[in-house]
């Protein structure tokens, strides 16, 4: 795998519950590297921050930024991109932030009988794709995003996360 298109990824653990999964940072780094290698977007010399939080933390983010007062599994916050050409010596571009909630993610993995690291990889990839402009606001966009997620996860040896959930996202 070439490393020419990889963004710098910082993983911040802000909730103690993540200590139960000590390999989470490595799982996320691997998933985001696979995603970066699989997309055509220029994400080299860019940064991504991933915050591993709990349901209370993500509920606050969801309420403050989306007006939805409940926890969710993953949120993405794409950064505004500066206008104009980059110059030598510029700081890395910030692609944005991803937040992942432990309890919701753990419950989903258990309910769907998926290994924790597979579901974490999926949510990291999903969040990353949002940062580079993908969405699932309509059926066509959802199909495109899900197909790309499935392709990226296959490179990691992870089965199609949508195979057992027909018609849902």
The answer on whether 126 is annotated among ligand-binding residues is yes
Q: Is 136 annotated as a binding residue?
A: yes
As given in the structure block, the two tokens for residue 121 are 């990889």
Binding residue per annotation — 113? no
Phi (first) and psi of residue 16, to 5 degrees: -60, -25
| Enclosing H/E stretch for 51 | strand 46-53
Phi first, then psi, for residue 42 (nearest 5°) are: -80, 105
Handedness of CA 127, 162, 109, 63 (dihedral sign): positive
CB 45 within 8 A of CB 92: yes
What are the binding residues?
126, 130, 136
What are the binding residues for Zn(2+)?
126, 130, 136
């Amino acid at each position: 795998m070439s490393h020419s298109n990889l963004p710098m990824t910082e993983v911040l653990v802000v909730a103690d519950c993540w200590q139960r999964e000590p390999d989470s940072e490595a799982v996320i780094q691997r998933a985001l590297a696979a995603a970066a290698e699989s997309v055509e977007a220029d994400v080299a010399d860019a940064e991504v921050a991933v915050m591993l939080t709990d349901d209370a933390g993500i509920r606050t983010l969801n309420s403050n930024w989306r007006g939805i007062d409940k926890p969710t599994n993953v949120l993405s916050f794409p950064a505004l991109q500066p206008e104009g050409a980059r110059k030598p010596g510029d700081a890395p571009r910030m692609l944005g932030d991803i937040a992942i909630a432990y309890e919701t993610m753990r419950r989903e993995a258990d309910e769907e009988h998926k290994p924790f690291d597979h579901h974490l990889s999926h949510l990291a990839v999903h969040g990353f794709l949002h940062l580079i402009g993908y969405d699932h606001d309509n059926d066509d966009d959802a199909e495109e995003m899900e197909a790309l997620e499935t392709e990226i996860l296959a490179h990691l040896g992870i089965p199609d996360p949508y195979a057992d959930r027909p018609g849902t996202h």
